[in-house]
């Protein structure tokens, strides 16, 4: 990927997001050519969201991103297999290698199997709702957020609906990572939409959690409301 696209989605994985290290973003107003600098706060970073998907979606281009990195190594290793590493001795290279190993074991190579990575966002729900689900499913992964809400693992929810490998036409839920929808056999856009709709319905009916796409839907007339398309 490109650095300039990172702020748009506030990209993140394994417990870290761009907003954690972003200091500013420079943008150019395309009609006039004026360049201005937005602070990280002005960028309104949220979970896979930013001002660049709303107010500054059209007529602007990102030309620079300013990052501030800590000189003191402070690893974030609370996610998945990373939690098995020792914070006292782990090195950046070891974290890098572990992340690459996890991704290669779970995510299909887009050069071989058509996919857009994580298709759905990990849902964020109220702590009370998370507790209700966890009472019935004690093994459910959950990640408390600073505001008191709880982030759930969309892949786990989909997996518990027995949807790994499930297909509609040429589109399918990946066998190893339920969060990824793949082009298994000449899938059409209708196949992808129908599959995403079925996944959303199954998870919603089972857990009362309604998934939202992380991918963006672009139609013949421009971007579409992804949630509305698959609802």
Under a CB-based contact definition with an 8 Å cutoff, are residues 196 and 186 in contact? no
Query: For 153-194, how does the pLDDT look when each residue is reduced to its tens digit (9 = 90+)?
Result: 999 999 999 999 999 999 999 999 999 999 999 999 999 999
Q: What is the reported pLDDT for 104?
A: 84
* Percent of the chain scoring above 90 in pLDDT: 83
Q: What is the reported pLDDT for 102?
A: 86
pTM of the model: 0.79
48 is catalytic: yes
Which CATH number is 113-230's, of 3.90.78.10, 3.40.640.10, 3.40.50.300, 3.20.20.70? 3.90.78.10
32 is catalytic: no
Catalytic residue chosen out of the listed positions 50, 200, 202, 214: 214
Q: Residue ranges per domain, the chain? A: 3-67, 73-106, 113-230
Under a CB-based contact definition with an 8 Å cutoff, are residues 150 and 124 in contact? yes
Which CATH number is 3-67's, of 3.40.50.2300, 3.10.20.600, 3.90.320.10, 3.30.465.10? 3.30.465.10
What's the chain's length in residues?
231
- Mean pLDDT value across residues 62-75: 94
List C-alpha distances in Å: 42 to 25, 36, 47, 223.
9, 12, 15, 24
List C-alpha distances in Å: 62 to 28, 29, 65, 98, 169.
6, 9, 8, 31, 38
Catalytic residue chosen out of the listed positions 50, 118, 198, 202: 118
214 is catalytic: yes
Place 122 in a pLDDT band, splitting at 50, 70 and 90.
very high
Instruction: Please state, in angstroms and rounded to a whole number, the distance separating the CA atoms of residues 160 and 131.
Output: 17
Mean pLDDT of the chain: 94
Place 39 in a pLDDT band, splitting at 50, 70 and 90.
very high
Catalytic residue chosen out of the listed positions 48, 50, 198, 200: 48
- Mean pLDDT value across residues 40-55: 95
């Amino acid at each position: 990927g490109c650095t300039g696209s990172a702020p748009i989605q506030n990209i993140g994985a394994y417990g870290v997001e761009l907003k954690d290290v972003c200091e500013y973003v420079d943008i150019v107003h395309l009609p006039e050519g004026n360049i201005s600098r937005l602070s990280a706060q002005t960028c309104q970073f949220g979970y896979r969201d930013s001002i660049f998907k709303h107010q500054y979606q059209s007529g602007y281009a990102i030309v620079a991103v300013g990052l501030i990195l800590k000189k003191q190594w402070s690893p974030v290793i609370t996610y998945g297999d990373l939690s098995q590493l020792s914070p006292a001795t782990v090195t950046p290279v070891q974290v890098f290698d572990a992340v690459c190993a996890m991704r290669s074991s779970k995510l299909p190579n887009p050069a071989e199997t058509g996919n857009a990575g994580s298709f759905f966002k990990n849902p964020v729900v109220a702590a009370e709702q998370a507790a209700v689900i966890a009472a019935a499913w004690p093994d459910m992964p959950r990640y408390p957020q600073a505001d008191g809400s709880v982030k759930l693992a969309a892949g786990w929810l989909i997996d518990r609906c027995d949807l790994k490998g499930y297909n509609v036409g040429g589109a399918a839920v990946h066998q190893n990572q339920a969060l990824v929808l793949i082009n298994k056999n000449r899938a059409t856009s209708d196949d992808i939409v129908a599959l995403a709709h079925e996944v959303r319905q199954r998870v919603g009916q089972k857990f009362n959690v309604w998934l939202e796409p992380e991918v963006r839907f672009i139609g013949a007339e421009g971007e579409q409301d992804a949630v509305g398309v698959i609802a």
